[in-house]
Every structure is written in C-alpha cells, then in structure tokens.
Amino acid sequence: MHDTGTGSTGNTAQPSRRTVLAATAGVTAALAAAGPAHAAAPDDSRLRALISRMTLQEKVGQLFVMRVYGHSATAPDQADIDANLREIGVRTAAELVAKYRVGGIIYFTWAHNTRDPHQIADLSNGIQRASLGLPRGLPVLISTDQEHGIVARVGKPATLFPGAMAVGAGGSRSDARALGRIAGAELRAMGIRQDYSPVADVNVNPANPVIGVRSFGADPRAVSALVAAEVAGYQGSGVAATAKHFPGHGDTNVDSHTGFPTITHSRELWEKLDAPPFRAAIAAGIDSIMTAHLMVPALDDSGDPATLSRPILTGILREQLGYDGVVVTDSLGMEGVRTKYGDARVPVLALKAGVDQLLNPPDLDLAWNAVLTAVREGELTEARLDESILRVLRLKSGLGLFRSPYVSQGGVDRTVGTRSHLAAAGRIAERTTTLLVNEGRLLPLPRRRYPKVLVVGADPASPSGTTGPPTGVLAGALGELGFTATALSTGTAPSAVAVAKAVAAARDADAVVAATYNVTASSSQKALVEQLVATGRPVVAVAIRNPYDVAQLPSVPACLAAYSWTDVELRAVARVIAGRVKPRGKLPVVVRRADDPEQVLYPIGYGLSY
C-alpha cells in the first residue's frame, strides 16, 4: 500500500543507497536485527550501545519535538526563514536538526509544513536526510495532530474523516479501526510516523471549550472501545498513535491553551470515568500517551499540572497502569503548563515527573540548555535521560525508521486520497449524522415539493477538511442532489441586518437549512433561527459543531447533528436531508434542557430515523 524504500520516484530528490548507508553507518548495522514496524521488539542491548556513544548534547536533543517553519527542509520561503530566526535562532529545519539534534519535529498548517502531500513527503525526506547526515545520525520522528473533524493539519487531497464525536455517534469499532488504518497509511506515505490521536478524554461537560467534539463521547465504555479500535488501525499501518490528554481533559470549562484547568473528580470518579479509555489504549499496545496541562487534586494535591506531576505520570501511569511506552507532553507553549513555573523549569520538571518527549517549547534554546544544565549540576542524571531516550529509540526502531527512513512520491500517489479511501470516509460519515428532531416528518425533504432551498448560518474558520464556508459546501452538495440551493452566510454572531436579510431571502425559498455553531441562550444565532421559523417556511437546523444546539432551538421542526463542518460530514448531511441515505447516528453525549440543566432532553443513544 505504501512505499518506504530509498529509491527516487517523481520529484522527490532521494539520496543514493550508498549515501544512506554511509550516513547511517553503525546505526543501521547495530539495529539490523530489528523486525518490521510493530512486528518485533527491538534489541535493547543494541539500542543501549547506541545511546552509550551519544554525547550529552545529542541525548538532550533527542528528548525534544520541535516546530519549524517552512515547506522545505533547506529552502523555505523568506518569511519562514525570518520566523525561524526569530523564534528558534536557525534558518531552516536542516539547521534546527544540526544545532539541537532534536529527536522529533511536529508539522503544523500555520507553519507552512503541510501544503500538499507531495511537498510533505519532500519535507520529511529533507529532514531525515539532514539528521542522518550528522555524526551518529538518527532518524527523526515526525509527528502532527491529525485527529480529523475540526483538528486536521493535513488537508485535501488527503482523505479527511469525520471527527471523534461523529465516530462516537456512529458507534462502530470497525469504522474507527478503518479510519485509523487508512489515515495511518496516508500519514506514513508522507513521512509522518507519529499522530497525536486519538483523543481519549471522556467529554461530560457541555461547556468544555477545548475538547467537545474532539472526544468520542460521554460514555467511558464506548469511548474506550473506539480509542482501542483507532489505536489498532493507526499502529497496524505503521504510525504511532497517541492517546491524549492524560489523566483526562473531558470535564473542564477552562481551555489549557489559555488557562490552568482544575479537574475536581474524586479518585473513585476518575477511576470510573477518565481512566478506562487510557487503560484500553494501553491494553491495545499504544505507542505514546500525551499529558494534560491541568491540575487534578485527587491524584496530586501539590498544585502542579499533570505534565509536571511525578505522582500522576510515574506513580499512576507508569506504576499503577503499567505503561512503559513513550510519554509526550502537550505543547509546552500552552498557558496551562506555564502558569506556575518559568519556561526554563518546565522541561526539567517534566522529565523528573516521567516524561520522555518535550513537545514544542516556546523557547527551544532556553529549554534545551535548561535540561543540559540540570544534568551537569546533578538535578537530573544522565541515566534518567537514557531511560527516555531508550523509549524513544525503541519507538523509532519499532516503526522501521532505522531501516526505511525515506518515502517516495510513488508511495504518495498510490496511497494518499485514493478513490477507495475517499469512498470509505464518505460511508463512515453517512453512519454518523444524527437526527434529533423531525416534526411532521419534514425529513427527508422532498425535492419536488421543496425545489428551492436557502442555506444560511454560521461560517466558522475553516479546518483543513473544508473547501469553503459551511453554507456554501452544504448548498453545493444539495445542488448536486437536484435542489436549487442558494448559500447566504450570516456568521456565528449574525447582526440584525444579517438576520433581516436572511429572513427576506427565506420568503423566496421553499425551505431553509440553517447551520448553527454552539448556540447559547443569548446568541443571535438563536434569534435568526426563530425568525426563520416565523416565516412559515420549513426550517432544518444543522448543528455543525456541538450537538447541544438543539436544546436552544425548541421551535425548529427538524434538527440534525453533524459534529463538524468539514466537507465529508456536510456532504453526508446533505444526503440525509435529501433522503439519499437514512440518518443512523446516535447521540454519544447527553443533551440537557436549556431551561433546566438537571433534566435530560435527549440521552446517550438517542437518534431518530425515517
């Protein structure tokens, strides 16, 4: 399915086999006995021998996973060179690897790493070439956040799948496994070998600003089953999966990117609610687990975030749960981990707590030197570093990076965004759309009775899985199904003028589809939907993020939950509206009454069909 050989194909400039062997002299020979990815345990004695030959500076570098700007490892655009110089003190990814010997690099869309699959493959090869060409050159573990749904760093033409809560609504372990298998194969073909997915948080708080639809749902058993299935899919394709965010980020109303959350669960509740998906991931052989920048007093009353907590990471994760894989921090640039300690202390404390990989520090030079100084001054031992480096090298060896660090353009063409992969994503999406309200059997919408459809509503910033505003994508999909559909974007906070314009347009339509995005009691989105309903035209509301919108829209005659506004989910919604497929999704979370949150409006497992 994919080609990880070192031969040159297409426009990827590959080094010769002689160059590769020379660059990896000693390393490849030392690890020749290692089996294929995830097929055999690497030989620790050989890895330990490799570690013994590394300098302290090389060891420190292996612990870091760093961002870098640019589409190319050696020739990025000038703006990206400027950004690298400003933030990292190097010009290129190749210089980053040479100066700090980083063990990993993380790709971001905003860092211009992920323009298209062929460029990504070239970038990955350039990074590997730069690292393997150094003394004791080691392959780099390249990672990204490809959760699908609202968080995806690699966009089209790669295959984009429904996000976790949509998959939770589908409830199929087979679909979750297929998602991981296909997505993993595509990432691997582009040289990305560690994915920071799946989210193992159990989202029980509707006000959660950072997890929400990134979670499979609110039932720990269902979440556990889907987490394990995705892990099997990803790792079966040779990509390290990452369960996040330990010990659980599902019950907070604070975003750890901008604040310091506290989870008030008792130890007993944590064991029942938050721990099961991580236990399931460990049982499935998860390669890596990401920490959370939040405080859980019942697990550690020191006031430290879990990322810096030895009782949580060593006492619970390592010793009680028996996990001996790689532990990676969430981004060290997030406020949740920077609140209590300075940026120089955070990486040292994380390593003392039991972390193996230090992800994306805001100031790499400061963090790198802080770890180096901590070893030289005796706060950290070199033996402690060796423990983490051994885990990281085990992972690289198990993924086959020592044997086959490069990818080919032919492998990209054969694997990424193929017709069969796109069709599988569409089928999975069709099984996730959830029908919550259908008064008078308005849906499916008969085209002969309602030929002219107005699509109005929210237009949040587009994730990688979109080709335009949700209203435009929905209108286009309905148009392909035979409707005369017009899009009118009113935004997530429509003004009175925008509402009036939409109401006027609705009077010229036969039916209205309204895309809603996290509606609140005071939201002008609610006023928009109410005034659209008052026109007498049939209105179908589509919640394009959290499914809780339905509680704020009691007057709407039909309501669907899409769980995201990516193309694959919106096109599935269009097929459900048109009656081409039946809605099959079931709520993976509880929706409570807006006027009395103690009362359940729709329970887990609720979903209509027709």
Q: Which residues are catalytically annotated?
A: 257, 330
- d(CA 311, CA 314) in angstroms, rounded, equals 6
Contact 536, 136 (CB under 8 A): no
- d(CA 477, CA 280) in angstroms, rounded, equals 38
Contact 328, 299 (CB under 8 A): no
Burial 345-358 (b: 16+ CB within 10 A, else e): ebbbbbbbbbbbbb
Backbone angles phi, psi at 508, to 5 degrees: -95, 0
Q: Cite the DSSP H helix spans in 320-363.
A: 335-338, 345-353
Orientation angle between helical segments 524-534 and 496-506, nearest 10 degrees = 30
Tokens of 417: 């965004």
- Spatial strand order of the sheet with 141-144 comes to 194-195, 141-144, 104-107, 64-66, 358-359
Q: What is the SS3 string spanning 451-482?
A: CEEEEEECCCCCCCCCCCCHHHHHHHHHHHCC
Contact 175, 397 (CB under 8 A): no
Nearest Cα neighbor of 127 from 171, 189, 192, 37 is: 192
- d(CA 322, CA 294) in angstroms, rounded, equals 22
CA dist 520 → 499, 530, 589, 594, 599 (Å): 16, 13, 18, 9, 17
Q: Where does residue 118 rank: exposed (0-12), middle (13-18), buried (19+ CB within 10 A)?
A: middle
Contact 139, 131 (CB under 8 A): yes
CA dist 218 → 165, 196, 203, 547 (Å): 9, 20, 5, 13
Query: Any residues with CB less than 8 A from the CB of 497 and at least 6 apart, and which?
Result: none
DSSP string, 203-265: ---TT-SSSGGGS--S-HHHHHHHHHHHHHHHHHTT-B-EEEEET--SS-SS-TTTS--B---
Lookup result for tokens 């749902």: 217
